[in-house]
């Protein structure tokens, strides 16, 4: 029976990393989904991004201290080039935002659409599903996607006034649909803490 090499461990999940930051040489190449320039809370000056690894199981762990966006992306790209890993920073990498939006809209079910005065629109559950798909497309880990979608939908419905209708009820319908869609997109993963809970610490 082969004895594991404990002098050079290969981690396949952030839960196994014993330190706040993971050494890139200790990552299991087959278990890495992507590297990510993760935004960190305001108040840190120019150090606004944290080079991080996102594992296939959805867990995430920093690879270095926070730095500016360009430096963080270059750091991730240098490591990713060795294994041909993708690098995500919240921008659509493989297609323009317009193309991504058109693709997502086309994927909606007919039940997500409605026509008002001859104009095609997306209903409340459809709005939630769209938000979930955009978060997933951006490469956000599950917990971060949940937080981002919740924040976006809350802001959207806070500004919305529908005469004679309960805005909270519509917001809940959108959130329920978004939650179900994220569970489908991130099937098999457990949501890690979001940005507001983690601060600048990784999910260990």
Residue ranges of domains in the chain: 14-89, 97-185
What does DSSP assign to residue 107? T
pLDDT of residue 138: 75
Read off the pLDDT band of 178 (50, 70, 90): very high
Q: What is the pTM of this model?
A: 0.55
pLDDT at site 115: 73
**Model pLDDT for residues 22-39, shown as the tens digit of each residue:** 999 999 999 998 898 887
Phi, psi of 113 (to 5 degrees): -115, 155
Q: Would you call 106 exposed, middle or buried from its count of C-beta atoms within 10 A (0-12, 13-18, 19+)?
A: exposed
Write down the H helix ranges in 36-141: 69-83, 97-106, 124-137
Contacts with 38 (C-beta within 8 Å, 6 or more apart), sequence order: 49, 50, 51, 52, 60, 62, 144, 195
Tokens representing 75?
Answer: 């750091």
pLDDT of residue 179: 94
Say yes or no to pLDDT of 69 above 80. yes
Q: Does residue 142 have a pLDDT over 80?
A: yes
Q: With beta carbons less than 8 A apart as the criterion, state whether 167 and 157 touch.
A: yes
pLDDT score of 24: 93
Burial class, 199, CB count within 10 angstroms (exposed 0-12 / middle 13-18 / buried 19+):
exposed
How far is residue 136's CA from residue 121's CA, in Å, rounded to a whole number? 22
Instruction: For 47-64, write each residue's pLDDT tens digit.
Output: 678 889 988 887 888 899
pLDDT for 171 beyond 80:
yes
> Is the separation of the CB atoms in 170 and 157 below 8 Å?
yes
pLDDT of residue 109: 82
Condensed to tens digits (0 to 9), the pLDDT of residues 76-103 reads 999 999 999 998 875 444 445 566 667 7
């Amino acid at each position: 029976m082969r004895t594991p090499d404990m002098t050079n461990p290969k981690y396949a999940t952030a839960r196994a990393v014993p330190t706040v930051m993971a050494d890139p040489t200790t990552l299991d190449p087959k278990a890495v989904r992507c590297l990510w320039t993760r935004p960190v809370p305001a108040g840190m000056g120019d150090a606004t991004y944290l080079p991080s690894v996102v594992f296939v199981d959805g867990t995430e762990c920093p690879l270095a201290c926070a730095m500016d966006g360009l430096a963080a992306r270059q750091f991730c790209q240098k490591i990713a080039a060795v294994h041909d890993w993708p690098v995500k920073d919240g921008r659509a990498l493989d297609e323009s935002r317009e193309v991504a939006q058109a693709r997502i809209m086309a994927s909606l079910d007919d039940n997500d659409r409605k026509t008002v005065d001859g104009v095609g629109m997306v209903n409340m559950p459809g709005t939630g599903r769209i938000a979930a798909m955009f978060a997933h497309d951006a490469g956000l880990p599950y917990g971060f996607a949940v937080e981002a979608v919740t924040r976006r939908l809350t802001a959207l419905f806070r500004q919305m006034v529908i005469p004679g209708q309960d805005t909270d009820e519509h917001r809940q319908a959108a959130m329920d649909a978004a939650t179900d869609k994220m569970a489908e997109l991130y099937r098999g993963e457990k949501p890690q803490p979001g940005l507001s809970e983690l601060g600048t610490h990784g999910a260990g």
